[in-house]
Structure 1
Amino acid sequence: MQQDHPQGGLPLVGTHVIERIELETGEHLPPSVNQKILEGSYSTKLTIRCNGTRVRVEGNPSRWQRMDNLFGLQTLDDCVAVFNSVLMRYGLPPFTKNTDVQYRQSPNGKSAQLVGNGAEITAIDWTINHEVGQGKEQSFIRGMSSMQIGRGRKPKLYPDGHTCNWGEGSTWMMTKLYNKAVELKRHLLKEQRRKDGVSDDRLSYIESLINYCEKHGVVREEHSLRQALIKRHNLQFYGRVTEADFNPHLQDIEKAMNTIQISHDEHQSIADQLLSLGVVKSRQAANATQSYALIWQHGVDVRNELSSSNYYVHKARLKAIGIDIGQQFDVSRMCPTLRRSETIEVKPLQIPNWYHMPVVSQSNVLPFQAYA
């Protein structure tokens, strides 16, 4: 978010400033100030910058001063309240709502642009959590990755199957689905454990959060709306737009889910089936019986490979899971490795009663410092 103050006179905020002079005329141009990185509690970061006339803040207000943001802020006003608290610490004016929007004069040949008298949203992310069931996250993400969404936006499924992006690198918008438990393990838990002096209570909370996401099979849907889209639909004017105005641009995944039915299949090897049913007591015995089942599938008569007694031992074991090596293998009747198949039901994720919801006033009183 950013806001211009044409009257100027604001303090410069950044890590360094570059003064600029027009060589032909000697005129002093507005200075160039790079961003200052602020670090708050739990390794959270925001960036702030002011060149004397323009104030800009970037970052995730739902994550600021919190251990996680599984459930975040619900309104634009709450997000801006977090930013304004940071601006106040640096003696900068707060972001204000637009009360007037009008066209400004533009160069010849250029289309006219709307400008407001308040803060401008230059990028915004929206998220929603889906509950798909324990262990079904990859099946759901892989199933969704089979579809284009929106206007021909092609999917990019990551090799691990835990993340799929649509429109990666786009200046318009990017949509993402990812396994939230895996993301928490990769970043949050690793980061917390790396810190010296992390309390047991904090680690316990993070581990409870990961277990909760795994138990419910949480898949996170995320929409990153970029400046080109925001300006095209006049969504940049804080105070003149509501949360509902963004909804038409957040429906691509919902529409795709309404047109596809995704199933979750659980497969087991022959050896695993023998062990899970108690047909054999050791992995060695299970693997031995599995090996004879595999050569039987290749057309070998197992009777010729084993003594009579051993043949009937392995035959009895395999019959317990529905495989009869006494019959010639028929490719149209494949031996069972599919343990279970079921349609994935997607539900909104409920907030557990122990979860620490964001409280703007609490975030705004915690200390932070400049990182760079």
Structure 2
Amino acid sequence: MTIRCDGTRVRVEGNPSRWQRIDNLFGLQTLDECVAVYNHVLATYDLPPFTKNTRFSHRQSADGKPSSLIGNGAEITLIDWTRNHAVGKGREQSFIRGLSSMQIGRGRKPKLYPDGNTCNWAEGSTWQMDKLYRKAIELKRNLLKSIKKNDEVSPETHRYISDLIEYCETYGVVREEHSLRQTLLKRHNLQFYGCTTENDFYHHLKDIENAMNTIQISHDEHQSIAHQLLAAGAVETLRQANTTMSYFSMWQHGTDLREVMKQSQFYQHKARLKTIGIDIGQKFDVSRMCPTLKRSDVIEVKPLEVPSWYKMPVVAETNILPFRAYA
């Protein structure tokens, strides 16, 4: 968290849901709770608290430009909204990849990261940025990595973080994040604290949800022919499985195996492949089969429930992580 004060104005930057906490998988729910965290920190440095706006006046502007409103309280310059989706263990990338095929809002194009764990829309925009990412991976990369470098972290904290990551992996947690920037807030008069409610923002948080309602995403599990043969007990060794798979590949590309193999070999490999539902005695038809597709399920999205052991945020709690002030 960063505090700036020039003698007439106080500015605070930082995530109040993350303040003095190990994580922020589940955070604060209201604007008042967020401001209460900021005010708690400001009070420790004898700085004035943020207050709600009660009256407004027009600010003088340059010639030729429309005037703007200024209030007598705190002004919001950026706000992030998040929620968690449970899509099922191992299905996070399929879910993110599926939604990355769609533009959202007014033509905001998706950007899928190479690892498939993150997708955002309108990155770098001064209006709004939307994002989906795999929460377990984010916790491993940032939180788990940082505490391993800190020898002062207690064993209980290590266990708590490990349980949190395991919980996210078990339920397949995908984080949805909306960052509303200053341009949008001013255009819709959402910047004045005390004159807006949470409901006023919800209209701007529906783009990803609308995309989810118009697309059906499936999770496909693929397995090589060789490993399918081994799993079905059709062969005894991986070498035998690979040999049969090589003949399968020839058949898949249009080769008549009867012309390149002895009859006994043909029926041997045919018998093996039939155990996994493939008949090389028939001509391969790509429109009727996907030989490596083991399973395909439609992904069902559910809201993530808070586990009983989770440590929810407390506004006045300041004994979890140290706070440093830099001059």
Tell me the TM-score range normalised by the shorter chain.
over 0.9
Partner residue in 1 for 2:11: 56
Contact 2:22/2:320 (CA < 8 Å) preserved in 1? Answer: no
Select 1:124's aligned residue among 79, 96, 108.
79
Partner residue in 2 for 1:154: 109
- For the residue of structure 2 that corresponds to 1:95, the secondary structure is coil
Output the amino acid matched with 2:227. Answer: D
Alignment of 1:78-97 (within 5 A): 78-97=33-52
Contact 2:40/2:316 (CA < 8 Å) preserved in 1? Answer: no
Contact 2:21/2:321 (CA < 8 Å) preserved in 1? Answer: no
Query: Structure 1: which 5+ runs fail to align?
Result: 1-45
Structure 1 residues 254 and 225, CA, compared in 2 at 3 Å: closer, same or farther?
same
Which one is further off, 109-118 or 87-96?
87-96
Partner residue in 1 for 2:161: 206
Deviation track 1:174-216 (CA, whole Å, cap 9, x = no partner) reads 0001111111121111112122243222122112111111111
Output the amino acid matched with 1:91. Answer: D
Which one is further off, 64-73 or 96-105?
96-105
Give 1:93 deviation, angstroms: 0.9
Partner residue in 1 for 2:271: 316
Partner residue in 2 for 1:30: none
Partner residue in 2 for 1:142: 97
Output the amino acid matched with 1:343. Answer: V
Tell me the distance in 1 between the aligned counterparts of 2:30 and 2:290.
Answer: 54
The answer to whether structure 1 residue 268 and structure 2 residue 223 are counterparts is yes
Give 1:139 deviation, angstroms: 1.4
Which one is further off, 253-262 or 308-317?
308-317
Give 1:364 deviation, angstroms: 7.6
Select 1:165's aligned residue among 101, 114, 120.
120
Deviation track 1:39-89 (CA, whole Å, cap 9, x = no partner) reads xxxxxxx11111111111100010111111010011111111111122122
Between structures 1 and 2, the one with greater strand share: 1
Which one is further off, 255-264 or 117-126?
255-264
Tell me the distance in 2 between the aligned counterparts of 1:278 and 1:191.
Answer: 46
What RMSD over aligned residues (CA atoms) do the two structures have, in Å?
2.0
Deviation track 1:213-262 (CA, whole Å, cap 9, x = no partner) reads 11111111100000011111111111111111111111111111111121
Tell me the distance in 2 between the aligned counterparts of 1:66 and 1:281.
Answer: 53
Tell me the distance in 1 between the aligned counterparts of 2:300 and 2:254.
Answer: 41
Output the amino acid matched with 2:85. Answer: H
Count of matched residue positions in the alignment of Structure 1 and Structure 2: 327
Structure 1 residues 282 and 199, CA, compared in 2 at 3 Å: closer, same or farther?
farther
TM score, norm. by length of structure 2: 0.93
Give 1:305 deviation, angstroms: 5.1
Deviation track 1:250-283 (CA, whole Å, cap 9, x = no partner) reads 1111111111121222221111212232333443
Tell me the distance in 1 between the aligned counterparts of 2:319 and 2:39.
Answer: 9
Structure 1 residues 332 and 82, CA, compared in 2 at 3 Å: closer, same or farther?
closer
Structure 1 residues 330 and 117, CA, compared in 2 at 3 Å: closer, same or farther?
closer
The answer to whether structure 1 residue 356 and structure 2 residue 311 are counterparts is yes
Select 1:216's aligned residue among 154, 161, 171.
171
Deviation track 1:99-149 (CA, whole Å, cap 9, x = no partner) reads 112222333322111111111111000001111111111111111111111
Contact 2:20/2:320 (CA < 8 Å) preserved in 1? Answer: no
Tell me the distance in 2 between the aligned counterparts of 1:350 and 1:224.
Answer: 23
Output the amino acid matched with 1:48. Answer: I
The answer to whether structure 1 residue 259 and structure 2 residue 214 are counterparts is yes
Partner residue in 2 for 1:285: 240
Select 1:340's aligned residue among 275, 295, 312.
295
Asked which structure has the greater CA Rg, the reply is: 1
Deviation track 1:270-318 (CA, whole Å, cap 9, x = no partner) reads 1121223233344333222212211222333445655555544332221
Tell me the distance in 1 between the aligned counterparts of 2:68 and 2:196.
Answer: 17
Partner residue in 2 for 1:233: 188
Select 1:244's aligned residue among 183, 199, 203.
199
